[in-house]
Structure 1
């Protein structure tokens, strides 16, 4: 079990890891070792995620979420497979923790009197500039 928060834990079998070749420079060694990790986590079918967390996680995942609802994270920052596995798992846990916190509701506020005055003064100045550009001479 992977502990994410005090109320969310993930089973090890929910996470699927596959190893791929990392891109970028590295000489001959990079062409024959599979050090990058592709982590897959099925968000929609996970029994351990509450519905509200699932919906927020789908929104946070963005383009990393497939049409089937599978979150795909690729970790290739490090040179070793072990560190890339840890990195991918940490990124998944951080993403789920971020989704576990409900967003604070927006409280509508009124503009201050000073900001209203500054806005109207700026509009007046802009209006005066445009009035002077119109080409009509003052009599």
Structure 2
């Protein structure tokens, strides 16, 4: 019944590892809002998943620490009036969150030295500023 969710090129979450819960959406929608369970809560057990490699699992749990409850990530979608569209939106959002959390950290910055020209420009600007202030005059001038 549940389709697989592809998380970038890293891994695919089988539909069997996803849990869906449906409830009534809040907000406008006419009389249908009172009868249709269009809100979708999609849960995925990150800590207990067999498809995520251990190194990635560690990175994901560290980055999503505040969003995980007992190792489970829950995504809610209720922006559409259709349950099917909310299911698709929740799956897309889950894939997006997991892709972002599993992305490798950015490369370390290599420190660089200021160029000779930039040093000269900085000193010239300081000299100009100093001359401006000295030229203002005041009662404490020498």
Q: Aligning the two structures, in what range does the TM-score lie when normalised by the shorter sequence? A: 0.7 to 0.9
Instruction: Show the counterpart of 1:74.
Output: 76
CA distance in 2, matches of 1:75, 1:27: 19
Aligned residues: 137
SS at 1:33's partner residue?
Answer: coil
CA distance in 2, matches of 1:125, 1:118: 10
CA distance in 2, matches of 1:75, 1:101: 24
Give 1:61's match in structure 2, choosing from 54, 61, 64: 64
CA distance in 1, matches of 2:30, 2:127: 65
SS at 1:137's partner residue?
Answer: coil
Q: Indicate conservation of the 8 Å contact 1:57/1:95, yes or no.
A: no
SS at 1:94's partner residue?
Answer: helix
Q: Which runs of 5+ in 2 are unaligned?
A: none
Instruction: Show the counterpart of 2:95.
Output: 93
CA distance in 2, matches of 1:52, 1:29: 46
Cα-Cα RMSD: 3.2
Instruction: Show the counterpart of 1:48.
Output: 51
Give 1:8's match in structure 2, choosing from 7, 11, 14: 11
Distance 1:35 1:110, change over 3 A: same
Instruction: Show the counterpart of 1:29.
Output: 32
Q: Which runs of 4+ in 1 moved over 6 A?
A: 121-132
CA distance in 2, matches of 1:123, 1:78: 59
Q: Which runs of 5+ in 1 are unaligned?
A: none
CA distance in 2, matches of 1:52, 1:136: 69
